[in-house]
A and B are shown apart, each in its own frame.
Chain A
Amino acid sequence: MRVEFGDSPEEAAFRTELRAWLVDNNPGLPASSTSDEYWAGQAAWHQALYDAGFFGLSWPTDIGGRALPSVYDVILDDELAAAGAPPRPSLGYLVQGILEHGNADVRSRFLPGIVNGRDRWCQGFSEPDAGSDLAALRTRAERDGDDYVITGHKVWTSYSDVADWCLVLARTDHDVPKHKGISAFRVSMRQPGIEQRPLKMINGITSEFGEVTFDGARVPASDMIGAPGEGWRLAMTVVSHEREPGELGYVGRYRKIVKELGGLVREHPDRYSSEQVRDLGWAIVGSEMLRLHVCRRLSDRLDGVVHGPDGSIDKLLMTEVEQAVGHASLAIGGAAHGAHDDTWLRVYLYSRAQSVMGGTSQVQRNLIATRILELPTS
């Protein structure tokens, strides 16, 4: 073992197989995250990737994964970007949370459907009055026979419009400190007592985020994930993975966008000022940096290292790159005043959310300062 960024023979064989599959199976969806058309095709893409054996690479085989070393995800992201295919679905954080906190029954009932893309999940964490201060959440789960009854209001719920299930954090104990009274449930979205409303985001998308109200929705007690009161710890596992670019597969998305922008400049070099081209240059450097950073982090996992607060560093690097790519999209693609195709404007506007979702950049900096640099808390 010594620093090796190149493929082993097994990795090279996997890469060849994947590349060949992509020739015939790239759905050619529009630049991801920028149109409702992308989100409409996402489930089919997930299932196609899974059925061909290219999704859930590093997860255990009993939930449908392939138990490959985590670095195979780097190859997947590389090849998806090179082929101009959509990125892999970002579900790793959900899987990691349930793997770590669910009991054997919960893991075997919930995870295979998530991994193979047949069950779609959304995440009911944030609330109107519980954003950065997530532990202040007020949604209640009250025991009623073999069920719990859920009442409350969730917001920023990705995919709530298409989800079959929602991972809900709800307060089950009001008599303990706020972090300790929270439990996690898998709640069916297909029942009375649930209403969901799409949120229209600044780039015009209506089908990624939603808000959900629970008014007497029921969930069997056996669908609690983890023990009563373990919800906060599960949430921290989920959000720490949600901060890891290696888990999210965003590198492929950034490289795909940068590649398309590079094509525009090569086609008409004289249309762009040196300032615009420099924005593209920094987006290229950034997306390459993130790819290599993910190589480093996923290699560390070969030692069984699980990153704790380091995820905050990775989240800020990912945000820096997403927003540099956004600026390059605006510089090269343009705001497209008066045009019908505003793809690049949408990419740019979407990038603003990256410094908020999964924990704001300010919260990440607080965590780095106190938990990594060990600066005193005030």
Chain B
Amino acid sequence: MDVRLSPEQQALRDSAAQVVDRLGPHAVGELDDAERAAKLDAAVDASGWRELRTATDDGTPWSSAVEAALVAEELSRGLADAPYLGPTLAAELRRLAGAPSAAAPETIGLAPDLSDLTCRPAGSPVGSSLAIDARHATSALVLVPAVGGGHTVARVTLADPGGQVDLTRTTVAADPAAAVVPLDGADIFLSPRAETRWTALGLALTSAELVGTMRGAVQLATDYAKERRQYGRPIGSFQAVQHLLADALVAVEGASSVALHAAWAVDALPADEALAAGAVAKAYAARAARSVCETAIQVHGGIGNTWECLAHVHLRRALLSGDLLGDAGVNLDRVLAHHGIGDARGVR
């Protein structure tokens, strides 16, 4: 056992950090700066990070989930408004089903509460389905029930963006009347075990995102507490404020440890254990993230409750990462089910 990052992994993390620190939004107003966002998108595109989980010749991914998680964490820390999670999870779904890599940008289609992939019979209207992180994407991958169990992979075309909770990523509803179209005309079968592994990656990456979002929020609030003065001194010199921020940092470090393990588990453990590792990480990180982002708002006081303060952008991003493939409660049920207690909704 040695869970230190390798020099290559450290370099990957540093380069993701550099890109997002240079080109990510540093103020709420910058979210509307299309030129900046296009530069960030181009840099992410050029880096090849969206292809980390596409298949090599022997079907294994180009990079382990640890690398994919490092990028997810850094992009989230800097509130990157360029697609990463959606394309990465779509690529993993194709890889695990043995489908060729996507020819055009795509993402994944989910049930309206985001807790699970959309699953509908082939040829039928897709109904309510949401595609997350869908900027540029014209279609989203969904599932079709297969005869005798398991699923095949299919896609639906996307309609227009609806209301956005997460201001850094675009959620798009599928056209409810659009038919579910099997991939490339053939049945691309996704075994239950492969689907479990896919879910494990989704939980690991969203946990890493939550760690990143939390780190960014703690940094934002700590910087503010050093500058903002009341009663003639920085508010960060008051114990009441110090203890809020200390607790926030503690939560980030705990979440960071479980998220790292979940990412390692995706490629290293049997599918059901990888899922359990993902569920532990997601339950812990989702609960922590809401509280940490709320702390960031509180430390900013009145300003923290205005649209112009970046703290709510962190919270909103955490809400999407948190809900995707199940929030804290869903994943707590998964953990209990893994220990033979209760029956978890949606455990696969």
The number of A-B residue pairs with CB atoms under 8 Å apart is 163
B1 touches A265 (CB 8 A): no
- For residue B220, CB closer than 8 A to chain A, the reply is no
A284 touches B6 (CB 8 A): no
A285 touches B245 (CB 8 A): no
Interface of chain B residues 262 through 277 with chain A (CB within 8 A): 263-265, 268
Interface of chain A residues 37 through 68 with chain B (CB within 8 A): none
- For residue B161, CB closer than 8 A to chain A, the reply is no
Instruction: Encode contact with A along B242-255: 1 for CB under 8 Å, 0 otherwise.
Output: 11011101100110
B268 touches A369 (CB 8 A): no
A2 touches B9 (CB 8 A): yes
Measured between beta carbons, the chain A residues less than 8 angstroms from B256 are 296
| 5 residue pairs, one from A and one from B, having the closest CB atoms | A369-B242, A368-B246, A293-B257, A2-B6, A365-B246
Instruction: Encode contact with B along A344-365: 1 for CB under 8 Å, 0 otherwise.
Output: 0000000000000000001011
**B87 vs chain A, min Cβ distance (A):** 23
* Residue on B nearest A274 in the bound complex, by CB: B342
Instruction: Encode contact with A along B200-233: 1 for CB under 8 Å, 0 otherwise.
Output: 0000000000000000000000100110000001
Given the known interface contacts A289-B254, A299-B1, the answer about A1 and B249 at a Cβ–Cβ threshold of 8 Å is: no
- Among B9, B226, B242, B249, which residue has its beta carbon within 8 angstroms of that of A3? B9
Stretch at the interface among B108-116, B132-140, B318-326, B331-339: B331-339
B260 touches A292 (CB 8 A): yes
Measured between beta carbons, the chain B residues less than 8 angstroms from A239 are none
When chains A and B are docked, how far (Å) is the Cα of A289 from the Cα of B233? 37
B335 touches A375 (CB 8 A): no
**A277 vs chain B, min Cβ distance (A):** 6
When chains A and B are docked, how far (Å) is the Cα of A266 from the Cα of B246? 37
Measured between beta carbons, the chain A residues less than 8 angstroms from B4 are 1, 3, 299-300, 302-303
Interface of chain A residues 312 through 329 with chain B (CB within 8 A): 313, 316-317, 320
* Residue on B nearest A319 in the bound complex, by CB: B250
A369 touches B246 (CB 8 A): yes
When chains A and B are docked, how far (Å) is the Cα of A294 from the Cα of B233? 38
Measured between beta carbons, the chain B residues less than 8 angstroms from A71 are 1-2
Measured between beta carbons, the chain B residues less than 8 angstroms from A266 are 340-341
Given the known interface contacts A7-B1, A316-B250, the answer about A280 and B336 at a Cβ–Cβ threshold of 8 Å is: yes
Residues of A at under 8 Å CB distance from B? 1-8, 11, 71, 74-75, 262, 265-266, 269, 277-278, 280-282, 284-286, 288-290, 292-293, 295-296, 299-300, 302-303, 313, 316-317, 320, 362, 364-366, 368-370, 372-378
A74 touches B1 (CB 8 A): yes
Measured between beta carbons, the chain B residues less than 8 angstroms from A286 are 284
In the complex, 14 of the A-B residue pairs with CB atoms within 8 angstroms, ordered by the A residue number, are: A3-B263, A4-B2, A266-B341, A288-B280, A289-B257, A292-B257, A293-B257, A296-B256, A302-B4, A316-B247, A368-B250, A376-B236, A376-B237, A378-B238
- For residue B234, CB closer than 8 A to chain A, the reply is yes
- For residue B66, CB closer than 8 A to chain A, the reply is yes
Measured between beta carbons, the chain B residues less than 8 angstroms from A7 are 1
A6 touches B268 (CB 8 A): yes
A365 touches B247 (CB 8 A): yes
* Residue on B nearest A303 in the bound complex, by CB: B4
**A21 vs chain B, min Cβ distance (A):** 20
When chains A and B are docked, how far (Å) is the Cα of A8 from the Cα of B3? 12
Task: Specify the main secondary structure of chain A where it touches its partner.
Answer: helix
Residues of B at under 8 Å CB distance from A? 1-9, 64, 66, 222, 225-226, 233-234, 236-239, 241-243, 245-247, 249-250, 253-254, 256-258, 260-261, 263-265, 268, 280, 283-284, 332-333, 335-336, 339-342
A278 touches B5 (CB 8 A): no
When chains A and B are docked, how far (Å) is the Cα of A282 from the Cα of B331? 11
When chains A and B are docked, how far (Å) is the Cα of A282 from the Cα of B257? 16
Measured between beta carbons, the chain A residues less than 8 angstroms from B268 are 4-6
A3 touches B250 (CB 8 A): no
**A207 vs chain B, min Cβ distance (A):** 32
Measured between beta carbons, the chain B residues less than 8 angstroms from A373 are 222, 236, 242, 245-246, 249
B222 touches A285 (CB 8 A): no
A282 touches B340 (CB 8 A): no
Measured between beta carbons, the chain A residues less than 8 angstroms from B241 are 375
* Residue on B nearest A282 in the bound complex, by CB: B332
When chains A and B are docked, how far (Å) is the Cα of A303 from the Cα of B222? 29
**A313 vs chain B, min Cβ distance (A):** 5
Given the known interface contacts A4-B264, A289-B257, the answer about A369 and B250 at a Cβ–Cβ threshold of 8 Å is: no
When chains A and B are docked, how far (Å) is the Cα of A376 from the Cα of B242? 9
When chains A and B are docked, how far (Å) is the Cα of A290 from the Cα of B254? 7
B283 touches A296 (CB 8 A): no
**A318 vs chain B, min Cβ distance (A):** 10
Given the known interface contacts A375-B225, A378-B233, the answer about A362 and B243 at a Cβ–Cβ threshold of 8 Å is: yes
B2 touches A1 (CB 8 A): yes
When chains A and B are docked, how far (Å) is the Cα of A2 from the Cα of B64? 10
B249 touches A372 (CB 8 A): yes
Measured between beta carbons, the chain A residues less than 8 angstroms from B342 are 269, 277
**B71 vs chain A, min Cβ distance (A):** 14
